[in-house]
């Protein structure tokens, strides 16, 4: 499985690279900083989930429009890391073992690179309207295609904003200012659902939307994304306790920072058990969908299972 | 004229208010900060230019789609001010005589409020696809309408990003690190064209696009926006020297900060003369366009002239 994931990661990287801006002109410093942040070695989970969901539903590889949205979701994810790492936020000088964007380019460029990635994500995704792949999804006509792109843009914006990722980030920052004992399970759930799960939901929903899935199927993908996202974040909290220096930050940093996590609230055993349950729930929902038996459906299912036991 | 501008400002304010997010939920702090930043007393020039351009070309008032794009352009302008004022950028605690966003809500919320405004701008503008005004512009059918919205989104993203406003901001930050004598007229022009003019071009082009103007007319609006934007920024530099405490920052702050401006490079007399010439050029181009003789066309022309002699 890990060989296949490596191959898919390379495939995703090649797609994203196609949409990175050229490092030229009087703004080249910020473009350098954008591309550095994107290329610093992410796992590409979000665009990979989007790509395979698209393929599962459509049975086709996907053209320029899919590629643009894959690049956009990774750009938005990357901007959120750039800004999270800033001195006024988590103040991390390292990200995946490398200097974080502001540590390498200075604080002003750390802010501007994040802004630029968020804006450019929309610029690239909006470019889908003028893309060459006349048929997005199986047998989509021009009118259908436009509606799908409009819906996908709407999901992209909503899940990244104040009703999605940003809401989670705000709640997270505010929770850090509290005593760990004051942070409730409800708050932790809200943070995980929005800060982490929203962008995974977005990836799955956009893949399905561009492939022409119906509203009920898109809703199922959202629920799968919620399961996978929560499991993903709990796994992160577990790895912070049990090890995995490949995360790029010291083991036990949450605990030393006095941060309430899923593990501090529920204990390690329950956390491990919940990751397992959430993963089973996601895989079970996926198996009900058309296409789940094809190559991409099977890969998606295995990818979700592998995320639950990942060590970085 | 100033009475009419006040009336139009109120009209624009009412439109923008309709699209501001409700201050509720676990992310309410950042929503407070967004709305504070928007409501701190901007002149609303960009949405006003967009609204009147739309009306000049279409002869109609404009519905939900126009309103969404008006709100979006003001949100993007406001996010840029939020981030400009941050300690790592211009480090301004005051904006229009009031505490800047980070000064009031803390630095983390200053960053997040900016991020949230940029993201929400796209969220609101993308919502146009699902808006009720079936006919955007005079007699636009559904297919036409979709194309216009897609084009308008594309302009919105491009002019705000690394080929527009952000490029200007990056060049501005880098110019500040140089000796004033090292900053060339070419660099100052690049900064003004991108940091200031791009968003004014965007406003005029989007107004025209949504109203159904043709490509040549949209290009003319871009050129008018360039003239108006450069004149606007030179006027700002002039006011910094000659007075106008209503700008909300101390007179002569550019000079004390050792900042190269249009005025330090060209002298006050040439600067005043160039504002006049750019304004005449803009008004002359406008007068060639269909609709320039109607109420909105005349207002636009007078608004552009009044910006050239504004004292705040």
**Can you spell out the DSSP letters for B245-301?**
GGGSS-TTHHHHTT---HHHHH-HHHHHHHHHHHHHHHHHHHHTSTTTTSHHHHHHH
The answer for B 77-136 residues in CB contact with A (under 8 A) is 79, 83, 86, 88-89, 106-112, 114-116, 118-120, 122-123, 126-127, 129-130
Q: How far apart are CA A202 and CA A46, in angstroms?
A: 8
Residue A122 has pLDDT above 50, yes or no: yes
CB contact under 8 A, B150 and A129: yes
Residue A245 has pLDDT above 60, yes or no: no
CB contact under 8 A, B123 and A158: yes
Residue A200 has pLDDT above 90, yes or no: yes
Which of the two residues, A87 and B311, has the higher pLDDT score? A87
- Per-residue pLDDT tens for B11-66? 999 999 999 999 988 889 999 999 999 999 789 999 999 999 999 999 999 999 99
Q: Could you say which of B86, B150, B157 has the minimum Cβ distance to residue A111?
A: B86
Q: How far apart are CA B212 and CA B225, in angstroms?
A: 18
The answer for B 25-84 residues in CB contact with A (under 8 A) is 25-27, 29-31, 34, 79, 83
Q: How far apart are CA A194 and CA A166, in angstroms?
A: 7
Question: Which residue of chain B is at minimal alpha-carbon distance from A131?
Answer: B150
Closest listed residue to residue B210, CA positions, set B158, B285, B282, B135: B135
Q: What percent of chain A has pLDDT over 90?
A: 80
CB within 8 A of B263, min separation 6: which ones? B234, B237, B238, B240, B241, B271
Q: How many CB atoms lie within 10 A of CB B99?
A: 15
Give the mean model confidence (pLDDT) for residues A109-118. 98
Q: What percent of chain A has pLDDT over 70?
A: 93
Q: Given this model, what pLDDT does residue B247 score?
A: 47
Residue A6 has pLDDT above 50, yes or no: yes
CB contact under 8 A, A116 and B88: no
Query: Does residue B162 sit at the A interface (CB-CB below 8 Å)?
Result: yes
pTM above 0.90, yes or no: yes
CA dihedral B185, B195, A79, A35 (to 10 degrees): -30
- Per-residue pLDDT tens for A159-188? 999 999 999 999 999 998 888 888 999 999
* Interface with B, mutate which of A101, A116, A119 (most B CBs under 10 A): A119
Query: Does residue B143 sit at the A interface (CB-CB below 8 Å)?
Result: yes
Closest listed residue to residue B45, CA positions, set B203, B218, B231: B203
CB contact under 8 A, B89 and A110: no
Which of the two residues, A150 and B254, has the higher pLDDT score? A150
Q: Could you say which of A31, A108, A123 has the minimum Cβ distance to residue B88?
A: A108
CB contact under 8 A, A120 and B27: no
Contacts of B157 in chain A (CB under 8 A): 119-120, 122-123, 126
Asked whether A126 and B123 are in contact (CB, 8 A), the reply is: no
Mean per-residue pLDDT of chain A: 92
CB within 8 A of B214, min separation 6: which ones? none
CB contact under 8 A, B111 and A173: no
Residue A63 has pLDDT above 80, yes or no: yes
Phi, psi of A279 (to 5 degrees): -65, -45
Q: Given this model, what pLDDT does residue B26 score?
A: 85
Q: Given this model, what pLDDT does residue B137 score?
A: 60
Instruction: Read off the pLDDT band of A246 (50, 70, 90).
Output: very low
Give the mean model confidence (pLDDT) for residues A230-240. 94
Q: How far apart are CA B83 and CA A88, in angstroms?
A: 13
CB contact under 8 A, A116 and B166: yes
Q: Given this model, what pLDDT does residue A136 score?
A: 64
Chain B nearest C-alpha distance from A175 (Å): 10
Residue A100 has pLDDT above 50, yes or no: yes
Chain B nearest C-alpha distance from A91 (Å): 11
Q: Given this model, what pLDDT does residue B142 score?
A: 73
Closest listed residue to residue B274, CA positions, set B208, B153, B206, B185: B185
B195 CB burial (10 A radius; 0-12, 13-18, 19+): buried
Question: Which residue of chain B is at minimal alpha-carbon distance from A29?
Answer: B170
Report ipTM (2 d.p.): 0.95
Q: Given this model, what pLDDT does residue A311 score?
A: 86
Query: Does residue A205 sit at the B interface (CB-CB below 8 Å)?
Result: no
Q: Could you say which of A107, A150, A162 has the minimum Cβ distance to residue B129?
A: A150
Q: Given this model, what pLDDT does residue B297 score?
A: 98
Q: Given this model, what pLDDT does residue A260 score?
A: 84
User: Do strands B98-99 and B94-95 pair parallel, antiparallel, or not at all (unpaired)?
Assistant: antiparallel
CB contact under 8 A, A83 and B115: yes
Q: How far apart are CA B257 and CA B306, in angstroms?
A: 29
Q: What is the largest CA-CA distance in chain A?
A: 56
Residues in chain B with pLDDT < 50? Answer: 245-247
Question: Which residue of chain B is at minimal alpha-carbon distance from A170?
Answer: B27
Chain B nearest C-alpha distance from A240 (Å): 24
CATH of domain A2-308: 1.10.600.10
């Amino acid at each position: 499985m890990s060989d296949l994931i490596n191959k898919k990661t390379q495939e995703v990287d090649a797609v994203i690279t196609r949409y990175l801006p050229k490092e030229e002109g009087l703004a080249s410093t910020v473009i350098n900083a954008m591309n550095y942040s994107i290329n610093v070695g992410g796992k590409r989970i979000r665009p990979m989930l989007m790509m395979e969901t698209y393929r599962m539903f459509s049975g086709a590889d996907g053209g320029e429009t899919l590629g643009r949205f894959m690049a956009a979701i990774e750009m938005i994810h990357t901007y959120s890391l750039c800004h999270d790492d800033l001195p006024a936020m988590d103040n991390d000088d390292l990200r995946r073992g490398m200097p974080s964007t502001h540590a390498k380019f200075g604080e002003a460029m750390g802010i501007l690179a994040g802004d630029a990635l968020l804006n450019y994500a929309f610029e690239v995704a909006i470019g889908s309207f003028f893309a060459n792949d006349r048929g997005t999804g199986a047998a989509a006509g021009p009118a259908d295609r436009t509606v799908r792109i409009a819906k996908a843009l709407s999901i992209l914006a909503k899940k990244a904003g104040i009703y999605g990722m940003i809401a989670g980030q705000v709640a997270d920052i505010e929770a850090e200012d509290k005593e760990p004992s004051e942070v409730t399970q409800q708050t932790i759930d809200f943070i995980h659902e929005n800060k982490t799960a929203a962008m995974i939901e977005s990836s799955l929903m956009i893949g399905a939307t561009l492939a022409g899935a119906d509203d009920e199927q898109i809703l199922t993908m959202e629920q799968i994304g919620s399961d996978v996202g929560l499991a993903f974040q709990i796994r992160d909290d577990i790895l912070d306790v049990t090890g995995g220096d490949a995360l790029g930050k010291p083991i036990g940093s949450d605990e030393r920072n006095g941060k309430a996590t899923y593990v501090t609230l529920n204990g390690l055993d329950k956390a491990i058990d919940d990751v397992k349950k959430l993963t089973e729930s996601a895989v079970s929902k996926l198996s009900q969908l058309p296409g789940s038996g094809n190559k991409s459906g099977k890969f998606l299912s295995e990818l979700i299972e592998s995320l639950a036991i990942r060590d970085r």
